[in-house]
């Protein structure tokens, strides 16, 4: 017990606030989220695009049927990038809570032999089409709007529904 309490005294606890941050000036932000119901394996994705003031630019939900959560995250990114291109956005910060998906795009040489190489390549091409495009990992708590959309996607018919 003495050793345990001594270790606890050495640990510094830092409190951080996990809230959505606005993108840099003249930049847009795409938040992407995938979701899956464990029992039924129903999956869905949600994404939201906002401007540098925090104004909503567009969003989508997609009921993707059953499947793998990584695939859902990447499909969400694909449809989000398509929305950015439709809205003529050329300076985009992408945020996702899937560490694996973010790493696949930050180190594009990793996805050449991946099972979803074709979808990953399509997303990468869309990112180049957008132009100035960066992708970052965030905590799920900073991605609440996209998370709510992803969970709400189960109530829609299969496919993509835009707003």
- Look over the chain and give the mean of its residue pLDDT values, rounded to a whole number: 83
% of residues, the chain, pLDDT over 70: 87
Residue 30 sits at φ, ψ, to 5 deg, of -110, 115
Q: How many CB atoms lie within 10 A of CB 103?
A: 13
Question: What is the tens place of the pLDDT at every residue in 22-71?
Answer: 888 999 999 998 888 776 678 888 888 999 999 999 887 888 888 888 98
CB-based burial, 105-115: b 16+ in 10 Å, e otherwise: beeeeebeeee
User: Pick the residue with more confidence: 57 or 144?
Assistant: 57
Q: What is the pTM of this model?
A: 0.82
Q: Which domains does the chain have, with CATH numbers?
A: 2-162 (3.30.420.10)
Listed range (16-30, 44-58, 115-129, 146-160) with the worst mean pLDDT: 146-160
């Amino acid at each position: 017990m003495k050793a345990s309490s001594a270790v606890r005294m050495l640990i510094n606890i830092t409190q951080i606030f996990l809230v959505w941050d606005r993108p840099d000036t003249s930049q847009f932000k795409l938040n992407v989220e995938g979701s899956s119901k464990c029992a039924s394996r129903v999956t869905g994705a949600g994404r939201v695009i906002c401007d540098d003031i925090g104004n909503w630019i567009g969003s989508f939900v997609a009921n993707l049927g059953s499947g793998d959560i990584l695939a859902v995250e990447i499909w969400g990114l694909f449809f989000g990038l398509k929305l950015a291109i439709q809205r003529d956005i050329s300076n985009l910060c992408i945020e996702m809570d899937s560490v694996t998906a973010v790493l696949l795009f930050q180190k594009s040489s990793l996805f050449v032999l991946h099972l979803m190489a074709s979808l990953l390549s399509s997303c990468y091409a869309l990112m180049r089409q957008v132009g100035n495009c960066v992708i970052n990992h965030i905590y799920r708590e900073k991605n609440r709007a996209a998370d709510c959309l992803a969970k709400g996607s189960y109530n829609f018919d299969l496919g993509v529904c835009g707003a």
